[in-house]
């Protein structure tokens, strides 16, 4: 386990609207086509499961998951580029998967860019299986990029 995950200043808590500026700072560093502040605000308003990891009060990772009709959909998971490779995304995934179990979810779904091999490896190591593809799902620098659809039966 990395030193980061043992750091006493690392805290996990539900996200709040007051975190949106910090979320956007990370989102813009990580994505060419980031979510908008309004998408995060709406996710909080409708009661999606929104969790963030904070290191000494600085947001370094977050996850957003919707739950309905026995299914969960991980909509966004992101870690600050400076904190990658230390197990934070795995911990975030485990947190939302456990929340899905608490909500008596049968299956958890997510999409990932076809080019994001690191994330695909993480999801597979957590028991997700590739179940399909969404053609042209993500905006890309030159057109659109396919998404691979993953599912995990709980």
The pLDDT tens digits for 113-149 are 999 999 999 999 999 999 999 999 998 888 999 999 9
Fill in the DSSP letter of residue 40.
H
Fill in the DSSP letter of residue 35.
P
Instruction: Give CA–CA dist 135/43, Å, rounded.
Output: 25
Once rounded to an integer, what is the mean pLDDT over residues 40-63?
96
Q: Which two tokens stand for residue 14?
A: 């539900």
Residues catalogued as catalytic: 111, 123
Binding residue ranges: 116
Instruction: Give CA–CA dist 123/120, Å, rounded.
Output: 5
pLDDT at 3 over 70: no
pTM comes to 0.91
93 beta partners: none
Out of 3.30.9.60, 3.40.630.30, 3.20.20.140, 2.40.110.10, the CATH code matching 3-153 is: 3.40.630.30
Question: How open is the CA angle 37-39-43, to the nearest 5 degrees?
Answer: 115
The H or E element that residue 10 is part of is strand 10-14
Binding residue ranges for acetyl-CoA: 116
């Amino acid at each position: 386990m990395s030193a980061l995950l043992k750091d006493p200043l690392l805290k996990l808590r539900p996200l709040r609207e007051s975190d949106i500026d910090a979320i956007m700072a990370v989102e813009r560093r990580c994505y060419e086509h980031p979510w908008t502040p309004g998408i995060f605000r709406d996710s909080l308003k409708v009661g999606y499961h929104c969790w963030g990891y904070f290191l000494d009060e600085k947001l370094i990772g977050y996850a957003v998951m919707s739950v309905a009709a026995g299914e969960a959909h991980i909509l966004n998971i992101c870690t600050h580029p400076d904190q990658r490779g230390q197990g934070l995304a795995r911990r975030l995934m485990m947190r939302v998967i456990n929340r899905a179990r608490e909500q008596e979810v049968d299956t958890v779904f997510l999409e990932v860019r076809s080019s994001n091999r690191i994330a695909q490896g993480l999801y597979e190591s957590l028991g997700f299986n590739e179940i399909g593809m969404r053609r042209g799902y993500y905006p890309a620098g030159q057109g659109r990029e396919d998404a691979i659809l993953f599912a995990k039966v709980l």
